[in-house]
Copies of this chain bind each other. A is one copy, B any other.
Amino acid sequence: MQYQRIHPKGPEFSRIIAGVWNWADETINERCIAAALDCGITTFDHADIYGGYTIEELFGRILKQHPGLRNKMQLVTKCGIKLKVDNKPEHRIKHYDTTYEHIIQSVETSLKNLGTDRIDLLLIHRPDPLLNPQEVAKAFEDLYEKGKVLHFGVSNFTSTQFEMLQSFLPMPLVTNQLEVSLFKSDYLFNGVSDVMMKHHVGIMAWSPLGNGKYFDDLEKMQTLGVLADKYKVSTAKLLFAWLLAHPANLFPITGTTKTERIQEAAAALDVKLGQQDWFAMLKIIKGFDVA
């Protein structure tokens, strides 16, 4: 495994991150945490809302059972979305909430559910059109001063949303978590990755293998498979390697509950993808020369 700072003043993360959004019971959490740590993945990506507000608590049970575990890992979580779910009858509509009160309250709940005294990295989950940057700044400052959150970032933000919020904060936003894969590479071409690179901000890449639907295009997958064979690796490893070869400092998040998939993701760091093959993969998916 490779460990590196996601930003010059940000936390040191494992280059492959375990995403827990789908770790739906205690057994899965116990097994997956162990599998991740075994292959050097030390960073775990949460959100308050995952599993309908249930995953943080399931994950936290394991931490409580194994007191030494917390210090071997970095915890990322998010706030700012309010889901319309049965256990939140006060939410009449799915909406965003980035008020001071909600950010503070959400972090307090995350800390309690996770059974920890600190979040390594807190993200605003999605850009809120009602986001008041001064309120967010105050919430971040208070959480930082009390040691409850060590670093801050955002998720699914455009460049202008990122730079606007940053301009009101005393600390750097250290990441922008975005959907990036060979199949959905928009952010690498629409200016967002440029702006993140300008700010030395690493990108946490969610859905790094695309979603299952892409695997239905048998012809393209077969052509990718031929290239994977050349490297003597699985197509999934090749897809991780494609992200890792990009200069924008991408940290792919595996979203799996399968032990062998976690191991596969971690092992992708050994694949050194050639420059021409990087363009060849893009051409396979886009259907035309990118150069």
A-to-B contact residues, CB < 8 Å: 81-82, 91-97, 99, 126, 128-133, 158-161, 163-164, 167, 188-189, 191, 194-195, 197-198, 245-247, 275-276, 278-280, 282-283, 289-291
**Do A276 and B164 touch across chains, with their CB atoms under 8 A apart?**
no
A280 to chain B, nearest CB (A): 5
30 pairs, A vs B, C-beta closer than 8 Å: A82-B291, A91-B276, A93-B276, A93-B280, A93-B283, A93-B289, A93-B291, A94-B289, A94-B291, A95-B275, A95-B290, A95-B291, A129-B189, A129-B246, A129-B282, A130-B245, A130-B246, A130-B278, A132-B247, A133-B197, A158-B191, A160-B191, A160-B194, A160-B195, A160-B198, A161-B191, A163-B198, A164-B194, A164-B195, A164-B197
Given contacts A194-B164, A289-B94, contact A247 B131 (CB under 8 A): yes
Say how far A271's CB is from chain B's closest CB, in angstroms. 16
Extra 6 A-B pairs, beta carbons < 8 Å, given A81-B291, A92-B276, A99-B275: A93-B283, A94-B279, A133-B247, A160-B194, A163-B198, A164-B195
The residues of B that contact A280 with a CB separation of less than 8 Å are: 92-93
Determine the distance from Cα of A166 to Cα of B98 in the docked complex, in whole angstroms.
30
Most buried by B among A97, A275, A278, A283: A275
| A222–B99 CA distance with the chains assembled, in angstroms | 30
User: Which residue in chain B gives the minimum CB-CB distance to A157?
Assistant: B194
In the complex, are the beta carbons of B290 and A129 less than 8 A apart?
yes
CB distance B159 to A159 under 8 Å?
Answer: no
Query: What chain B residues lie within 8 Å of A291 (beta carbons)?
Result: 81-82, 93-96, 126, 128
Determine if A164 and B93 form an interchain contact, defined as CB atoms under 8 angstroms apart: no
Distance A160 CA – B163 CA, assembled complex (angstroms):
13
Is the Cβ of A198 less than 8 Å from the Cβ of B96?
no
Kindly provide the distance from the CB of A201 to the nearest chain B CB, expressed in whole angstroms.
Answer: 12
- A188 nearest CB across to chain B (Å): 6
Q: Which residue of B lies closest to A84 (CB)?
A: B289
Q: Which chain B residue shows the least CB distance to A248?
A: B129
CA–CA, A267 and B291, complex, Å: 36
Residues of B within 8 A of A167 (CB): 198
Which residues from chain B contact A82 at a C-beta distance below 8 Å?
291
